[in-house]
Structure 1
Amino acid sequence: MDTRERLIESTRELLWERGYVGTSPKAIQARAGAGQGSMYHHFHGKPDLARAAIARSAAELRDRAEAAFTGPGSELDRIAAYLRRERDVLKGCPVGRLTQDPDVMADPELRRPVEETFAWLTDRLAALLTEARANGELDAALDPRATAAALVAVLQGGYVLARAAGSADLYAQAVDGALGLLTAHTR
């Protein structure tokens, strides 16, 4: 991994662990094994590097989701595969955690990839639910858009519950509960 990549990856990890304010240029450089000159050679400063790191985290989330969404099985099978895929639940979502960071949310450039990622995820889930409804797998009365928003909320809320209790079991319960509600609308 070259220096630029090490800087981005180190920033991603630190943002996930400490948030924006807690991620100092010195901490980024130490974790990346890069000097100040290298950091400023590749990036204009901490905000520029944070944008690259957040965009990378957002892209990774979308790629992993898309892998589940295009996998085998029915639309509901693929949604379940996405919700149940392996995650570091107690660490939280690397994109979702950024919504709790006031500095990220106050900066439109840092906020944009977070907002776009959740909009994409909701749209993608709504499309799968629409397909499932059109194929007769789901009840015609189910609102795909509202249900997709609820699934994203359950996912993010599941992280919060698990972190608060120190147990990944609460995340699994939230996912199982959401899927149980969804399957109640199957035909």
Structure 2
Amino acid sequence: MRTSDRLIESTRELLWERGYVGTSPRAIQQRAGAGQGSMYHHFSGKPDLALAAIGRTAGEMRAGVEEILSGPGTAAERVSAYLRREREVLRGCPIGRLTQDPEVMADPALRRPVEETFAWLRDRLAAVLAEGRDRGEIGAGLDPAAVASAVVAVLQGGYVLARAAASPEPFDQAVDGLLALLSPVRPS
């Protein structure tokens, strides 16, 4: 792996573990096995490296979500597959955790990929939900944009609840509850 890739990968992990504030250039260099000169040869500083790391994390997240949401099945099945995909629940969402970092949120360049990723996710989920509504797979009165925002909020809130409880159970309960709400009501 090239030095620049090692630096980006190390930064990604440290951002997920410690956040931006808790990630020092020295820690990045140590984890990457790279010297200070190498880091500053490839990146102008910590913000530039963090931006590359956040961008890579966001890109991988989008690709994984897209694969699931564009896969086979009804809209509800695809949303369910996305909600139930394997995750490191107790570590939280690597993008969502950045919203709790005041320096990331205060820096427009670092905040942008976080905002764009969540906007893309809501839009992509809304498109799948609209497709399901139009095909009669889910409720005709469903507002796809509102439900997509609720899906993202339940996931992010589920991570918080799981971390607070030191157990994935609250996350799983939140997903189960959301899926129950999305299940079509069958006439009796």
Q: Same fold (TM over 0.5)?
A: yes
C-alpha contact 1:21 1:103 (8 A) present in aligned 2: yes
Q: Aligned residue for 1:92?
A: 92
Q: Does 1:109 align with 2:109?
A: yes
Q: CA deviation at 1:184?
A: 4.2
Task: Tell me, in whole angstroms, the C-alpha distance in 2 between the residues paired with 1:98 and 1:127.
Answer: 26
Aligned-residue RMSD, C-alpha: 1.1
Task: Tell me, in whole angstroms, the C-alpha distance in 2 between the residues paired with 1:71 and 1:141.
Answer: 25
Give 3-state SS (helix, strand or coil) of 1:22's partner. Answer: coil
Q: CA deviation at 1:102?
A: 0.2
Q: Deviations over 1:101-149 (max 9, x none)?
A: 0000000000000000000000000000000010011121111110000
Task: Tell me, in whole angstroms, the C-alpha distance in 1 between the residues paired with 2:72 and 2:58.
Answer: 24
Task: Tell me, in whole angstroms, the C-alpha distance in 2 between the residues paired with 1:25 and 1:14.
Answer: 10
Structure 1 residues 127 and 185: alpha-carbon distance in aligned structure 2, compared to 1, 3 A threshold: farther
Q: List alignment gaps of at least 5 residues for structure 2.
A: none
Amino acid in structure 1 at the alignment position of 2:163:
R
Aligned residues: 187
Task: Tell me, in whole angstroms, the C-alpha distance in 1 between the residues paired with 2:28 and 2:185.
Answer: 48
Q: Aligned residue for 1:145?
A: 145
Using the size of structure 2 for normalisation, the TM-score is 0.97
Q: List alignment gaps of at least 5 residues for structure 1.
A: none
Give 3-state SS (helix, strand or coil) of 2:178's partner. Answer: helix
Q: Deviations over 1:44-103 (max 9, x none)?
A: 000000000011111111111111101221111010000000000000000000000000
Q: Aligned residue for 1:158?
A: 158
Q: Aligned residue for 1:132?
A: 132
Segment of structure 1 superposing worse, 89-98 or 14-23 = 14-23
Displaced runs of 4 or more, over 2 A = 184-187
C-alpha contact 1:137 1:186 (8 A) present in aligned 2: no
Q: CA deviation at 1:186?
A: 7.0
Q: Aligned residue for 1:5?
A: 5
Q: Does 1:173 align with 2:173?
A: yes
Task: Tell me, in whole angstroms, the C-alpha distance in 2 between the residues paired with 1:42 and 1:133.
Answer: 48
Q: CA deviation at 1:166?
A: 0.4
Amino acid in structure 2 at the alignment position of 1:43:
F
Give 3-state SS (helix, strand or coil) of 2:15's partner. Answer: helix
C-alpha contact 1:142 1:185 (8 A) present in aligned 2: no
Amino acid in structure 2 at the alignment position of 1:165:
A
Q: Aligned residue for 2:119?
A: 119
Percentage of identical aligned residues: 71
Structure 1 residues 153 and 186: alpha-carbon distance in aligned structure 2, compared to 1, 3 A threshold: farther
C-alpha contact 2:137 2:184 (8 A) present in aligned 1: no
Task: Tell me, in whole angstroms, the C-alpha distance in 1 between the residues paired with 2:185 and 2:45.
Answer: 50
Q: CA deviation at 1:185?
A: 5.1
C-alpha contact 1:139 1:186 (8 A) present in aligned 2: no
C-alpha contact 2:16 2:94 (8 A) present in aligned 1: yes
